[in-house]
């Protein structure tokens, strides 16, 4: 049995059902992210795991114990919130010791554990500072140390990086992941940032309207999105209208080009219309034997982004976006110029609603 399991959880506030039959099994030591737009129920599921909300129906077990009706302080859970959750009138050491004092540790035990946690987050030199004397990133590391100090069996993080600026966010997420690996602690991390979820998770739960639309590793989610919502929410996606040949369902017309697919299409409506999706990295201005499809069009925009250049092309009235790697001697295409984008037909996939 999984270490943390949520079975058919439903949460209703008044007339509003915000979590609708949510199932998840997390293995011991796994790092799982909840990814989804604002209001999809991420925090509500996290709060049910922590015990701050009771599910309207369904069950939660941790280490084979049913904790559905267990008080939060009896679940051995550590939690980190978005920001500003440290006790402002306590030093760093005082904040980290807080849960240890409540657990009845002796002063000597507390001091040893606080020192250990300060070492883990690399802030030993700031033990006597107060929260207002530290940067947001340092405060969040202290919040992590405070959550981990009592040796919880599950760590829950609710958008812990969202109040920080971009550079700190990237370095701190790697630090959190490293500490999580070191301790082997089962972790659920909430974010609405798809890049963040992709870069640090063992598995991602893509949530939509109170449900888990898809649960999988970052590469499963990205390469094999099961719904249109997942495909569009995770990464950039080009979606093109296509028309299937009624006599041969492997043949489709896309923006005036006939494409021979590997599989017969399955989502075409009665008129043969369907949507085909392709990731930007499948497209290139350079032909190659593997790229058996060529889309001729016109360059609509060229955006310089540093290491990559994002090109938008129009194929008639359909837009296609893709990136080129930058290099010092690269001459990017000009806006208005004709261009041909090449790709492999196997990189196109059908998406349905
Ligand atoms: N205590 C509550 N009473 C009534 N409605 C609530 C309560 N808590 C949450 N909701 C509603 O439940 C829905 C899901 O909220 P939740 O906070 O779980 O979303 P979220 O995915 O965490 O969003 P965000 O990314 O904005 O944090 C929202 O529509 C919210 O308004
Ligand atoms: Mg939330």
pLDDT digits (tens, 9 = 90+) for 301-346: 999 988 999 999 999 999 999 999 998 888 889 999 999 999 999 9
Ligand nearest to the CA of 22: 1
Ligand nearest to the CA of 37: 1
CA 262 from centre of chain? 30
CATH code for the structural domain at 4-233? 3.40.50.300
Determine how many CB atoms are found less than 10 A away from the CB of residue 214: 22
Using an 8 Å Cβ cutoff, are 315 and 343 in contact? no
Distance 37 CA to ligand 2 centre (A): 9
Ligand 1 mutation target, pool 20, 35, 37, 41, most atoms within 8 A of CB: 41
pLDDT digits (tens, 9 = 90+) for 87-108: 999 999 999 999 999 889 999 9
Q: Residue ranges per domain, the chain? A: 4-233, 238-350
Q: Tell which atom from ligand 1 comes closest to the C-alpha of 11.
A: 12
Locate the DSSP E strands across 116-195.
154-158, 186-191
Q: Does the pLDDT value for residue 68 go beyond 70?
A: yes
User: What percent of the chain has pLDDT above 90?
Assistant: 78
Using an 8 Å Cβ cutoff, are 18 and 44 in contact? yes
CA 80 from centre of chain? 17
pLDDT digits (tens, 9 = 90+) for 279-293: 898 999 999 999 999
Q: What is the second-level CATH architecture of the domain 238-350?
A: Beta Barrel (2.40)
pLDDT computed for residue 225 by the predictor: 87
Determine how many CB atoms are found less than 10 A away from the CB of residue 26: 23
Distance 157 CA to ligand 2 centre (A): 10
Residues with CB under 6 Å of ligand 1 are: 13, 16, 18, 36, 38-44, 192
Using an 8 Å Cβ cutoff, are 48 and 9 in contact? yes
Which residue puts its alpha carbon closest to atom 26 of ligand 1?
Answer: 38
Determine how many CB atoms are found less than 10 A away from the CB of residue 278: 24
pLDDT computed for residue 63 by the predictor: 96
Q: Does the pLDDT value for residue 353 go beyond 60?
A: no
Token couple for 215: 């649960």
Instruction: Please state the three-class secondary structure of 56-80 as a single string.
Output: CEEEEEECCEECCCCCHHHCCEEEE
Q: Do 4-233 and 238-350 have matching folds?
A: no
Ligand 1 mutation target, pool 42, 46, 55, most atoms within 8 A of CB: 42
């Amino acid at each position: 049995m999984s270490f943390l399991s949520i079975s058919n959880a439903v949460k209703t506030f008044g007339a509003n059902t915000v979590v609708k039959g949510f199932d998840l099994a997390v293995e011991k030591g796994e790092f799982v992210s909840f990814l989804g737009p604002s209001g999809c129920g991420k925090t509500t599921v996290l709060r049910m795991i922590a015990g701050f909300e009771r599910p309207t129906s369904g069950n939660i077990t941790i280490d084979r114990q049913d904790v559905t009706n267990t008080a939060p302080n009896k679940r051995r859970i550590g939690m980190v919130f978005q920001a500003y959750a440290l006790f402002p009138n306590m030093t760093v050491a005082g904040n980290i010791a807080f849960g240890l004092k409540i657990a009845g540790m002796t002063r000597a035990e507390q001091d040893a554990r606080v020192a250990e946690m300060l070492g883990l987050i690399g802030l030993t030199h700031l033990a006597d500072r107060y929260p207002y004397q530290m940067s947001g990133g340092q405060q969040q590391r202290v919040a992590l140390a405070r959550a981990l100090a009592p040796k919880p069996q599950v760590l829950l993080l609710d958008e812990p990086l969202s109040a920080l600026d971009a550079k700190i966010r990237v370095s701190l997420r790697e630090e959190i992941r490293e500490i999580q690996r070191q301790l082997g602690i089962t972790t659920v991390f909430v974010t609405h940032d798809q890049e963040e979820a992709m870069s640090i998770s063992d598995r991602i739960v893509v949530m939509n309207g109170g449900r888990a639309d898809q649960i999988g590793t970052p590469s499963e989610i990205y390469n094999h999105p099961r719904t249109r919502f997942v495909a569009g929410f995770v990464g950039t996606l080009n979606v093109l209208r296509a028309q299937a040949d009624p006599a041969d369902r492997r043949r489709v017309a896309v923006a005036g080009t006939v494409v021979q697919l590997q599989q017969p299409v399955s989502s075409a409506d009665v008129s043969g219309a369907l949507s085909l999706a392709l990731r930007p990295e499948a497209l290139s201005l350079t032909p190659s034997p593997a790229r058996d499809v060529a889309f001729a069009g016109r360059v609509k925009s060229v955006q310089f982004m540093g290491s990559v250049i994002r090109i938008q092309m129009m194929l008639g009235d359909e837009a296609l976006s893709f990136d080129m790697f930058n290099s010092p001697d690269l001459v990017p295409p000009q806006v208005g110029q004709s261009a041909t984008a090449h790709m492999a037909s196997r990189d196109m996939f059908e998406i349905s609603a």
